[in-house]
Structure 1
Amino acid sequence: MDQIDPQVVPLFRGLSLEQVYEKGREIQRKALEREFNYRCVEGFYFLRIGLRKNPLFELVQQAKDLKECCVLEIGCAFGVDGRDLVLMQGVKPENYLGVDVSSAFIELGFELFEDKEKLENLFVVKNVADEDFCSFVKSKLKRVDIVVATLVLHVIPKENQDFVRKVYQLVEPYQGIFIGETMGIDLPDEQPFYFERHGSPRICHTSRSLTKMLKEAGFKKVETTFLSRWTRGGEGVSATSKDDEDKVKNRARLAFVAFV
């Protein structure tokens, strides 16, 4: 049960750590049956706080009053961070929107927390690659002060640049902030590394390649920091060369925050 972040337990109103663990295992089983090729499911990471544990989150708190902000979370998955923001951090329900490309993720999130009747409007199915993504978000939120994307960029290698351009378009009018984590590798290269995991395309950014991409989209100030290495998940990794393959097996979490 050490995979569970104790700060997640209060989101399960009245349940013990053991009960949360059992519910999580059942949801994990159902997700894996749908062949989700995501480390957050395999590693039980979906029962951990992401945004608030990002070491760069304090920069967001210094710049914005979270309780007065409108927050868009892209790739909300089971919705742990969204529920934490609304139920624990004081973000108004009407000022939060969580989107994910997978309806299964959102439905399993409602099953996990048993709160569909109360929070159904907070989480919606939408693909950031859709041409109408920005207009869709604007129809749901009155403004976008903060965009959160935790462990999203590395699973959409072909859409990275379009993704960050859309984020910039949403936050630019409000001097907003983009914060998240992605898969990274602590090397000086200015270009990211491309590889596959179990046949699915992935991208592994360096600090320089991620900073370059964010600034090309329009962000003026970017901060990054490396977090813990992936201790599992090296299986099924293949790259265009053995050298690159060895490099990406040493990948780590790369936290970032970008300011307009």
Structure 2
Amino acid sequence: MASKNNVLSAEPTMATPQKKLAILGDISLARKLLEEYSGIPPTQVDSHVLTILNKASQHHDPYPCITRSRFLHFEGTQHPLFDVILSRLTASGTSSGQTLLDIGCCLGQDSRLYAFRGAPHRSLYGSDLHPEFLELGYELFNDKDKFDGHFVAGDIFSPSGTSALDVFEGKMDMISATAFLHLFSREDQLKACKRMIQFLKPFNVQDEFRQVIFGRQTASINPGVRVRESFEWGRKELFIHDLETFEKLWMDVGLMTGTKWEFKGQLKTLPWPGVKGVEGAQSARLMEFEVWRIA
């Protein structure tokens, strides 16, 4: 039950990194990608994946997307914009090549899927706080020598002019922020959104395609501050949204940055049964969102 200040407690993520992990859920699309894109023999896919999962789980306080194999479910393909993003990346005859940045890209799995579906590698960018994940992505997909996308390790909260992520500034048409903003307090969400806007190309109302930031994240019909505890971060506050509060976030982002955004979103039942803590609360939902720049 929420307290008077709407702060909910959640269970610690885990006490120690797991020694062994299992492949959970449907990884049929990942299996196809690993066999046909990466050239992993079908009989070796499971052992290859388990090797990477266990390596990834040893870094930092393991994320649920790693420990529950969710990054291999390619849930982003269910986003209403997935085919739109892919068509923009693969379109010919546009005035300039479309670019996509995946913020908090984990092992860069979504970039590999877009590449497998025909997107030019040079149009694909990704960033993660942990360089180990980016390196493990090359190992997972066996493409260190063939993937020409751009991965950069860095902290989105590092100021412009001091960050490795400065290389993205002014270059992006589309930004994927899946399972990202819900990791932070509302104050930090505002900072992250402001930084993402700096990564977008200069706005021109006459551009052939509109700039968009989109993704999927944990939400709630009871929005507000949550408290998470982990052995890497300690006690940390984060803000979980519903549609109304997320739209208000972007209104505030617009006021901060002198930009205007059109928000679209929907709440869905969580597809991860049995998850404990905040994500498993009865009020928890999955939000699919898209924010389109209009000025």
Same fold (TM over 0.5): yes
In the alignment, which residue of structure 2 is the partner of 1:259?
292
> Over residues 206-255 of structure 1, what are the superposed CA-to-partner deviations in whole Å (9 max), with x where a residue is unaligned?
211111112221242111112332423315x6xxxxxxxx9956423211
Paired residue secondary structure (1:31): helix
> Over residues 105-126 of structure 1, what are the superposed CA-to-partner deviations in whole Å (9 max), with x where a residue is unaligned?
1111111112112226522211
Partner amino acid, structure 2, of 1:66: L
Partner amino acid, structure 2, of 1:167: M
Q: Is the alpha carbon distance of 1:121 and 1:84 closer, same or farther for their aligned partners in structure 2, counting shifts above 3 Å?
A: closer
Distance 1:195 1:26 in 2: 32
In the alignment, which residue of structure 1 is the partner of 2:51?
26
Within a 5 Å distance, the mapping from 1:141-180 to structure 2 comes to 143-157=171-185, 158-171=187-200, 173-174=202-203, 175-180=210-215
Q: Using the TM superposition, give the Cα deviation of residue 136 of structure 1 relative to its aligned residue in structure 2, in angstroms.
A: 5.4
Runs of 5+ in structure 1 lacking a partner? 238-245
1:215 equivalenced with 2:257 (yes/no)? no
Q: Is the alpha carbon distance of 1:35 and 1:138 closer, same or farther for their aligned partners in structure 2, counting shifts above 3 Å?
A: closer
Contact 2:265 2:289 in 1 (8 A): yes
In the alignment, which residue of structure 2 is the partner of 1:186?
221
Q: Using the TM superposition, give the Cα deviation of residue 195 of structure 1 relative to its aligned residue in structure 2, in angstroms.
A: 1.9
Q: Using the TM superposition, give the Cα deviation of residue 5 of structure 1 relative to its aligned residue in structure 2, in angstroms.
A: 3.1
Return the match for 2:29 from 7, 17, 20: 7
Q: Is the alpha carbon distance of 1:29 and 1:60 closer, same or farther for their aligned partners in structure 2, counting shifts above 3 Å?
A: closer
Return the match for 2:227 from 179, 185, 195: 195
Paired residue secondary structure (1:78): coil
Structure with the bigger RCO (C-alpha within 8 Å, sep 6+) is 2
Distance 1:47 1:40 in 2: 8
Out of 144-153 and 27-36, give the one that drifted further.
Answer: 27-36
The structure with the largest helix share of the pair is 1
1:126 equivalenced with 2:151 (yes/no)? no
Contact 1:3 1:44 in 2 (8 A): yes
1:226 equivalenced with 2:262 (yes/no)? no
Distance 1:7 1:153 in 2: 26
Partner amino acid, structure 1, of 2:88: D
Partner amino acid, structure 2, of 1:26: T
Paired residue secondary structure (2:177): strand
Contact 2:103 2:127 in 1 (8 A): yes
Return the match for 2:88 from 65, 77, 97: 65
Contact 1:48 1:80 in 2 (8 A): no
Partner amino acid, structure 1, of 2:101: L
Partner amino acid, structure 2, of 1:20: V
Distance 1:200 1:120 in 2: 39
What is the root-mean-square deviation of aligned Cα atoms in Å?
2.9
Contact 2:176 2:213 in 1 (8 A): yes
Q: Using the TM superposition, give the Cα deviation of residue 137 of structure 1 relative to its aligned residue in structure 2, in angstroms.
A: 5.0
Runs of 5+ in structure 2 lacking a partner? 1-22, 91-96, 204-209, 255-259
Contact 2:171 2:201 in 1 (8 A): no
Q: Is the alpha carbon distance of 1:156 and 1:37 closer, same or farther for their aligned partners in structure 2, counting shifts above 3 Å?
A: farther
Contact 2:128 2:152 in 1 (8 A): yes
Out of 2-11 and 108-117, give the one that drifted further.
Answer: 2-11
TM-score, structure 1 length as denominator? 0.81
Within a 5 Å distance, the mapping from 1:84-123 to structure 2 comes to 84-88=113-117, 90-119=118-147, 122-123=150-151
TM-score, structure 2 length as denominator? 0.72
Q: Is the alpha carbon distance of 1:74 and 1:91 closer, same or farther for their aligned partners in structure 2, counting shifts above 3 Å?
A: same
